[in-house]
């Protein structure tokens, strides 16, 4: 996705990119909207503010991910929102915090945006729910461009919060569901349940968007369905993997889980499929050594050299493997 993106800036070690299709949305929005403002500049500012809110939401994900020891260095803004490229430590608690932190930013923004709106539009009126709703929806015309603009910011932030919290994978709400279930059912079954709920939800969103003729919403629904189908496939792989027995002598140096038994590796030298651990880090055909090759643990996603898995072995690693 980084192809077709423009590098905007770097902040706290996180590089922010803007996808060029964003300009299509700007054109679309600028031409489709009615005369809410007296000048199109305000319309443009509103779109900028929308993406500003999305951007701090993504920074919430990225910084939370780092706070639990994960990595996050890229955010891409594109027409369906933002993407923070985060890889939290692969355990449900760290995952949950990295996801929750995004919507939490919008929750924090509620009193800030409402406060600025109220101080600008009705500084002397008491801020009650009734007063607030009345000014927000019924009398924006009296408030002028600034008042209308600030009212839109309040609404945009709330709509983004509610939409993101829908339990529809891959929206934040769906991912929260996934990581909560993960505590109870394990990663694979949790992803299966979350992706099925996500498919139903985004399917309904698609039907609603089609019936009401909202093209932008249809595109979002199509994207969500695509992601939910991918997650369903991934859950199938995870659930199949859970049935495969483990080597008990060797362990991931990070999470100490044993590697699965099976010929999952292909020799880069001769093309033979082999079991890295049964063959003690060597290709059984050409004897090429893979001791220094980095492999990723399917359990915790940590990458470490094969030799480190043997160093964590409970038997002498020089011992030849039992046949």
Summarize as ranges the residues that interact with Zn ion (CB under 5 A). Answer: 102, 172, 252, 254-255, 267, 269-270, 272, 283, 285-286, 288, 297, 299-300
d(CA 28, CA 44): 11
CB of 57 to Zn ion, least distance (A): 5
CB of 37 to Zn ion, least distance (A): 28
d(CA 144, CA 277): 71
In the complex with Zn ion, which residue's Cβ is closer, 37 or 265?
A: 265
CA dihedral 150, 156, 161, 164 (to 10 degrees): -160
Nearest to 21 by CA among 42, 5, 33: 5
d(CA 99, CA 182): 14
In the complex with Zn ion, which residue's Cβ is closer, 197 or 297?
A: 297
d(CA 14, CA 72): 7
In the complex with Zn ion, which residue's Cβ is closer, 89 or 140?
A: 89
CB of 263 to Zn ion, least distance (A): 12
d(CA 248, CA 55): 45
CB of 78 to Zn ion, least distance (A): 13
Q: Helix or strand or coil: residue 300?
A: coil
CB of 254 to Zn ion, least distance (A): 4
d(CA 74, CA 83): 8
Q: Do residues 306 and 291 make contact, with C-beta atoms less than 8 angstroms apart?
A: yes
In the complex with Zn ion, which residue's Cβ is closer, 90 or 132?
A: 90
In the complex with Zn ion, which residue's Cβ is closer, 37 or 290?
A: 290
CB of 84 to Zn ion, least distance (A): 7
d(CA 188, CA 232): 9
In the complex with Zn ion, which residue's Cβ is closer, 118 or 265?
A: 265
């Amino acid at each position: 996705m980084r192809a077709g993106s423009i590098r905007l800036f770097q902040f706290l070690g996180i590089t922010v990119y803007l996808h060029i299709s964003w300009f299509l949305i700007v054109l679309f929005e600028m031409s489709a909207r009615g005369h809410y403002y007296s000048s199109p500049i305000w319309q443009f500012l509103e779109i900028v503010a929308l993406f500003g809110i999305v951007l701090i939401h993504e920074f919430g994900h990225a910084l939370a991910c780092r706070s639990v020891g994960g990595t996050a260095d890229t955010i891409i803004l594109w027409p369906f929102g933002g993407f923070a490229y985060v890889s939290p430590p692969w355990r449900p608690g760290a995952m949950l915090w990295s996801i929750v932190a995004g919507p939490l930013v919008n929750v924090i923004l509620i009193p800030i945006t409402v406060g600025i709106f109220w101080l600008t539009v009705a500084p002397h009126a008491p801020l009650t729910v009734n007063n607030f709703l009345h000014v927000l929806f019924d009398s924006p015309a009296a408030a002028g461009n600034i008042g209308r603009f600030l009212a839109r910011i309040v609404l945009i932030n709330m709509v983004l919060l509610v939409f993101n919290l829908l339990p529809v994978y891959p929206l934040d709400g769906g991912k929260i569901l996934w990581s909560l279930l993960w505590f109870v059912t394990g990663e694979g079954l949790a992803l299966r349940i979350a992706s099925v709920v996500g498919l139903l939800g985004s399917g309904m969103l698609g039907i609603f968007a089609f019936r009401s003729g909202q093209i932008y919403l249809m595109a979002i629904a199509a994207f969500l369905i695509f992601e939910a189908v991918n997650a369903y496939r991934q859950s199938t792989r995870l659930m199949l993997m859970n049935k495969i027995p483990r080597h008990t002598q060797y362990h991931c140096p990070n999470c100490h889980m044993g590697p699965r038994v099976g010929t999952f590796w292909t020799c880069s030298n001769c093309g033979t499929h082999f079991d890295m651990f049964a063959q003690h880090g060597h290709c059984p055909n050409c004897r090429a050594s893979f001791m220094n090759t980095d492999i990723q643990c399917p359990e915790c996603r940590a990458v470490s050299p094969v030799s480190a898995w043997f160093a964590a072995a409970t038997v002498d690693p020089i011992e030849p493997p039992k046949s």
